[in-house]
């Protein structure tokens, strides 16, 4: 087996005295897509925040490309190739689509702007039509596409998606799902997908981890998510 590009070993995360994550072990290998599933409050976003440097583990080790990132600030982790797409999207609303995409390229791939812009517009033709439009005037689905596009402009090696389908219409969910499937098939970007929509997750990921109350309670191949969504929801979400 090749070495994992991201290793999470025995990780605990605390908010004050509250244990939010306990003894998390996950290995992520190059080019695969892994899902983190579970209800609100299960610890999924907490784990993403620890990986991207916004929280520090109370115990355990986080290693990216073989090097510890336990004490690295977020901007260093971004420059090493791990990007986090939060639920807030964090766009610059007064700037145009084009300018938001250019900002995305500055940390890692400024010289490849034109090539990466063409790639993003291939994934999301809507953005090509709106390059001069201010981000704040776009719909929620279009803003989500822009947030994903901006992340891709940095040529990430590992991309963390935090509930990309939340609040979106079925049409936008379908388009974003198709884009993530294309990324997985290309194999250049390793994906962690936090998602409550198990049907969407099953279409994108290779395997999953189910979290409950900060612990991993189940794991398996994506094919298991295609069996009976209602039964899985009752078992793990209720």
Q: Domain residue spans in the chain?
A: 1-79+195-238
Three-state DSSP class for residue 165: coil
For the chain, percent of residues with pLDDT exceeding 70 = 95
CATH-assigned architecture of domain 1-79+195-238: 3-Layer(aba) Sandwich (3.40)
User: 238 or 216: which carries more pLDDT confidence?
Assistant: 216
Q: What share of the chain is helix, strand, coil (3-state, %, to 5)?
A: 40, 25, 35
Beta bridge partners of 9: 61
Distance CA 181, CA 187 (A): 10
Report yes or no: 123 and 182 within 8 Å, Cβ to Cβ. Answer: yes
Q: What is the pLDDT of residues 184-217, one digit of tens each?
A: 888 889 999 998 888 888 889 999 999 999 999 9
Distance CA 67, CA 45 (A): 22
Residue ranges of alpha helices (H) inside 85-139 are 97-106, 113-123, 125-129
pLDDT, residue 69, reads: 97
Report yes or no: 36 and 211 within 8 Å, Cβ to Cβ. Answer: yes
Q: What is the pLDDT of residues 120-150, one digit of tens each?
A: 999 999 999 999 999 999 998 899 999 999 9
């Amino acid at each position: 087996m090749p070495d994992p590009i991201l290793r999470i070993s025995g990780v605990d995360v605390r908010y004050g005295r509250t244990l939010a994550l306990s003894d998390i072990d996950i290995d992520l290998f190059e080019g695969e897509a892994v899902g983190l599933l579970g209800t609100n409050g299960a610890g999924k976003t907490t784990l993403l925040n620890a990986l991207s440097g916004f929280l520090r583990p109370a115990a355990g080790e986080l290693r990216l490309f073989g090097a510890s990132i336990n004490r690295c600030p977020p901007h260093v982790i971004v420059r090493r190739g791990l990007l986090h797409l939060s639920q807030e999207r964090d766009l610059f609303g007064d700037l145009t689509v084009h300018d938001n995409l250019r900002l995305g390229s500055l940390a890692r791939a400024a010289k490849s702007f034109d090539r990466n812009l063409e790639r993003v517009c291939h994934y999301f033709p809507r953005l090509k039509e709106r390059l001069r439009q201010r981000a704040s005037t776009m719909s929620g689905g279009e803003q989500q596409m822009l947030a994903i596009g901006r992340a891709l402009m940095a040529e990430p090696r590992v991309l963390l998606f935090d509930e990309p389908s939340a609040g979106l219409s079925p049409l936008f969910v379908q388009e974003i799902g198709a884009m993530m499937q294309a990324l997985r098939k290309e194999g250049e970007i390793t994906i962690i997908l936090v998602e409550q929509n198990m049907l969407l997750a099953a279409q994108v990921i290779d395997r999953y981890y189910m979290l409950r109350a900060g612990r991993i309670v189940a794991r398996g191949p994506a094919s298991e998510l295609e069996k009976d969504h209602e039964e899985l929801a009752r078992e793990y979400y209720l």
